[in-house]
Amino acid sequence: MTLTACITGANRGIGLELSRQYLDAGWDVIATARNLDALDDLTDLAQEHPNLRIEQLDLGDQASVSAFADRLGNQPIDLLINNAGIFGPLPFVENIQKQRFGTVDFQVWADVLAVNTLGTLNVTQALVENVAASSKKLIVTLSSGAGSIGDSDRPAIAYTSSKAALNKAMTIVARTLKDREIVVAIMCPGYVRTRMGLGGGDVEVEESVSGLRSLISGLTMADSGTFRRYNGDVIPW
């Protein structure tokens, strides 16, 4: 039986590479993009892979989330990867003061929370029955080690707190879905050379995604509610 992955924010970066690697592994992939007019490499991928379905989804737009869930209907999703996320306004140097104590821009903070935390939870709620109807029953959320209270001193208040809150919420989702045998895992992809990597990064996207896929392939109920890096390291909360 062919397995189905649904990957949010798949038009570039880690989401695009996740789509590519799951397609290469023979999965059906539902790849979502916020703007269907700017699909970049996803269109090329669709030409190589007829088992790629591209869908519009904006995490910050309730109508978009509801419409996406309606279009999916009863389609089983073996693996939901909550990948889409934002850092906040870029370029970094000109905008980072909006996330630093003393000069916090509260609209920026609200916008980042709306996508990374509320939006991710909203999509997870909207698709949980699709996951429950599948054989694998996996939900993987890409958080960030920067959201760790015990292990990160990154000063970007909006981004890091959005991921810390997401971590807490996902541990509650994990406990809530335990009786239904749905695994809910939280993962950090490492510091990856994508647009989110802000011009830096110590991991290539292919290596990060290979590591994430390896972790995902070994997930069991015992891993539900855990927070791990792409290389398997446990990240303190």
Ligand X SMILES: NC(=O)c1ccc[n+]([C@@H]2O[C@H](COP(=O)([O-])OP(=O)(O)OC[C@H]3O[C@@H](n4cnc5c(N)ncnc54)[C@H](OP(=O)(O)O)[C@@H]3O)[C@@H](O)[C@H]2O)c1
Interacting residue ranges for ligand X, rule: CB under 6 A: 8-9, 11-15, 34-35, 57-60, 83-86, 115, 119, 142, 144, 188-189, 191-192, 194-197, 201
Lookup: tokens for 184? 């809910």
CB nearer ligand X, residue 114 or residue 178: 114
Q: Are 133 and 84 in contact (CB under 8 A)?
A: no
Residue 95 burial by CB count (10 A; 0-12/13-18/19+): exposed, middle or buried?
middle
Alpha carbon 118 to chain centroid, angstroms: 13
Q: Are 24 and 219 in contact (CB under 8 A)?
A: no
* Residue closest to ligand X (Cβ): 13
User: Residue 66: what are its φ and ψ, rounded to 5°?
Assistant: -65, -45
Q: What is the enclosing helix (H) or strand (E) of 52?
A: strand 52-56
CB nearer ligand X, residue 189 or residue 225: 189
- Give min distance, CB of 67 to ligand X, in A: 13
**Would you say the C-alpha torsion 235, 142, 231, 193 has a positive or negative sign?**
negative
CB nearer ligand X, residue 14 or residue 121: 14
- Give min distance, CB of 117 to ligand X, in A: 11
CB nearer ligand X, residue 57 or residue 183: 57
- Give min distance, CB of 30 to ligand X, in A: 14
| Tally of residues, the chain | 237
CA distance 50 to 56: 18
CB nearer ligand X, residue 128 or residue 166: 166
- Give min distance, CB of 236 to ligand X, in A: 16
- Give min distance, CB of 134 to ligand X, in A: 22
